Amino acid sequence: MATSTPPARDAVLLVNLGTPSAPTPRAVRRYLAQFLHDHRVVQLTRWLWCPLLHFLILPLRSPRVARKYAEIWMDEGSPLAVHTRRLAEAVQARLPDVRVSHAMRYGEPALASALAGLQASGAARILVLPLYPQYSTTTTASVVDVVEAVAADGDGVRVVDDYAVDPGWVSAVAGSIRAHWQAQGRGDLLLFSFHGIPQRLVDAGDPYRRRCEAGVEAIAAALALESADYRVAFQSRFGREPWLQPATDQLLQALPAEGVRRVDVVCPGFAVDCLETLEEIAMQNAAAFRAAGGESLSYIPCLNDAPAHAEALAAIATRALDAWRTGTDGP
């Protein structure tokens, strides 16, 4: 007689930012409303921000953003959703004794529901692994907010804060760059582009910029790059306040005047490809670079569900779970 397999006591939950469910103004508006309501993302007082968001920003922005999503939409859905699901499946294949699933901070599958479902299934230890290699109060801390709301006592759920200099992840990114150069040739400059955040957050102590730069230094060392071989910039500004500099779009438009004709761009702050990489970098910024006199912008894809990426995340999760089980991870 067949016997049922007991549920895994350990679970790993990969968490990404999120995505609209369809490339339509309605779906985009629903997604952006949830995203931009998070006080970690926009820190204005609600009485000022909510009317501005619902009566001005969402009606104007949603149709425009929906058109951008339509340009990159895959047969299976949003690239971010498709690649995140595939990545979770690849990590699961490497952790047969652990239940691996995925969730989104905004949109579906919702983080709070995924956590509650794992708890209900009998998972004694749930390791939440945000797919944000570099810690920021705007991203990882927002995941922690949800975790603390669902698991109020903190028992049974832990969060991996940062893996910006993890050797396995660094090796995976360096390997993807090296493979791209071997297949496509190497440009005059390698540009590391990260999602930006407001400068005031860094001034207030957010370590995001330091973590981005630490990761870049580790990747550059793995590739044996000289300081003149690469630059770092920050993309996706929103609003009028100062954000981290230099801005990716402005730097790309200035590079041809410096003699850079061919540029390679990699975005190691994004675990999987999404609107910000496929449309903003590979399409929009590539066109701007050429319009400024550049010859070509070659975008190096995110790690997505590459074996090296899945192996790096599985190793991070394994170390964290082993330390948790044995009590060797400190108080």
> How many whole angstroms separate alpha carbon 55 and alpha carbon 301?
36
37 labelled ligand-binding: no
139 CA to centre of own chain = 9
The amino acid occupying position 92 is: Q
Q: Is 189 helix (H, G, I), strand (E, B) or coil?
A: strand
Q: On the CB side of 139, how many CA atoms lie within 13 Å of its CA?
A: 23
276 labelled ligand-binding: yes
Q: Which residues, at least 6 apart from 90, have a Cβ–Cβ distance to it below 8 Å?
A: 305, 307, 309, 310
CA distances, 328 to each of 72, 207, 320, 322 (Å): 45, 26, 10, 8
Q: On the CB side of 257, how many CA atoms lie within 13 Å of its CA?
A: 6
Q: Which helix (H) or strand (E) holds 127?
A: strand 125-130
Q: Contact at 8 Å (CB) between 240 and 195?
A: no
302 CA to centre of own chain = 10
Q: Contact at 8 Å (CB) between 52 and 58?
A: no
Q: On the CB side of 131, how many CA atoms lie within 13 Å of its CA?
A: 32
CA distances, 255 to each of 139, 283, 331 (Å): 30, 17, 49
User: Which residues belong to the annotated binding site for Fe(2+)?
Assistant: 195, 276
User: Which residues belong to the annotated binding site?
Assistant: 195, 276
